[in-house]
Amino acid sequence: MKLLTFKGGVHPPEKKELSKDSPLENFKIPEKVYLYLVQSAGAPPKLLVEKGQEVKTGQKIAETSSIISSNLHSPITGVVEDITKMFHPILGAPSDLLIIKRTDEKDEWDLLDSIDFEKADSKNLVERIKEAGIVGLGGAAFPTHVKLSPPKEIDTLIINGAECEPYLTVDHRLMLERTEDLITGIRIIMKILKVKRAIIGVETNKRDAIDTLNRFAGNGIEIAPLKTKYPQGAEKQLIKAILNREVPSGGLPMDVKVVVQNVGTAIAIKEAVVDGKPLIERGLTITGEGVKTPKNIVARIGTPIEELIEFAGGYNGTVEKVILGGPMMGIAVPNTSIPTMKGTSGIVVLTREVTGSLYTRNCIRCGRCIEACPMNLRPNVLYKLVKMKRYDDAVNEGLLDCIECGSCAYICPSKIDHVRHLKLGKKVYRALRRGK
């Protein structure tokens, strides 16, 4: 059988073997958590607590402030020790931070009521997801309640189990160990979207997950084995591979009647609806050649990276970079006091041997970036246009279609940072447009 896939892409060393066989472990409740107020895409939520106030685990501490925004809950039981500012690796600037300190050994939960989703209506379910502060756990951290209220008719739900980023294995473990919760989560989303069909897309490097899921398939839930190729888990590429539908340029999955949710998000939805649990912990992979014992863990949000690296046996070899997320799209952090966030799918510790030399040369027009681009763009041309500050020409060439997957820079023999320039070009173009 020909495996489902898309055109373009790259195939970096998978490195999943480092952690794929270690079952999910619960990380201890940290003594202190560091919570950025900005945990998701969109506007920062409005703070509901003040310094010195006692909070329970799961208590709402910040509330949505606009349509695209999400609630925030305390991950531990303790007191708000400080409200300050700290460098935010995603925003690239200092940002509001709450420090919550545990007062004693207690972990008192402030749970919501359980909802019987079979009987509940769509609106109440979405309201619960919003209340529980759920965001996309694949990495982009877009508020889930917004994504589940599409203004258009949807006919298919796609569950993203591709996990195409090298090194990361947490979604793999979730599919194996939390299969029933995942299926329940999918049923809830199907109910919300009123769709009859849900397809879980999984790359074939997770054969055991495909086999396990197949035992639960049926009643509208199907499993689609996908070719192992990066970025197979990018929304548009995933939809193209599974349904052969192309999201129009500038459009969203709902334009082709699809909603995509990550497996971790589906499980979080089940926990919010059935167990009444807000999003205060998540699964993540701590891996890379730079740690002694790579692991998959479930940890409270806001745990400093350093503690998680210690939990994975500490550093190993000459560590060059610590990455929040996967090595293709993740963000290198300046130091390990940075905490995990809702969108942190993993921490990858890379050694010098892996990152290699990045001596940049001129483009030799080899065309590999064009071949690799999953959006069929010409990254070499876009890069030149952005460097020449010809932003309007770059936009005509497709700058805004770039999904920032990094395949171009990965494959480039001249080690050109296409994607960095393209991201910058988008920012500058949008800023200029706003200025007009």
Partner 1 sequence: MMVRTFKTAAAPHIRHPDDTSKIMRDVLIALIPATIFSGFIFGWYAWILAIVGAFGGELIEYIIIRFFRKDKNFVPDGSASVTGLLLALNVSVKLPLWAFLVGLIFALVVGKHVYGGLGSNPFNPALVGRAFLMISFPVQMTTWVKPYWPKFWMSPWDMVTSATPLALLKEHGFSAASKVSTFDLFIGNVGGSVGEISALLLLIGFVYLLIKKRVTWHIPTSYIGTVLIISTIFWLVNPEKFGTPIFHILSGGLMLGALFMATDMVTSPVTPKGMLLFGAGCGAITMIIRYFGGYPEGVSFSILIMNAFVPLIDSLTKPHKFGEVKQNG
Q: Which residues bind partner 1 (CB under 8 A)?
A: 10, 12-13, 166, 236, 240, 246-251, 304, 306-307, 310, 315, 319-323, 327-337, 348, 350, 354-356, 358-359, 361-367, 370, 374-378, 380, 398, 401, 406, 409-415, 417, 419-420, 423
Residue with tokens 């912990």: 281
CB of 231 to partner 1, least distance (A): 11
CB of 291 to partner 1, least distance (A): 12
CB nearer partner 1, residue 103 or residue 360 = 360
CB nearer partner 1, residue 75 or residue 406 = 406
CB of 241 to partner 1, least distance (A): 12
Q: Answer yes or no: are the C-beta atoms of 342 and 387 closer than 8 Å.
A: no
User: CA dist 174 to 46, 207, 296, 415, Å?
Assistant: 32, 14, 10, 35
CB of 350 to partner 1, least distance (A): 6
CB of 247 to partner 1, least distance (A): 5
CB nearer partner 1, residue 47 or residue 333 = 333
CB nearer partner 1, residue 200 or residue 309 = 309
What is the DSSP annotation of 182-201?
HHHHHHHHHHHHT-SEEEEE
| Residues forming a β-bridge with 366 | none
| Residues forming a β-bridge with 349 | 322
Token digits for 126? 């979405």
Helix (H, G, I), strand (E, B) or coil at 283: strand
Amino acid at 34: Y
CB nearer partner 1, residue 47 or residue 90 = 90
d(CA 208, CA 212): 6
d(CA 59, CA 173): 28
Beta strands in 204-303 (DSSP E): 221-226, 258-262, 281-287, 295-300
CB of 346 to partner 1, least distance (A): 12
CB nearer partner 1, residue 64 or residue 336 = 336
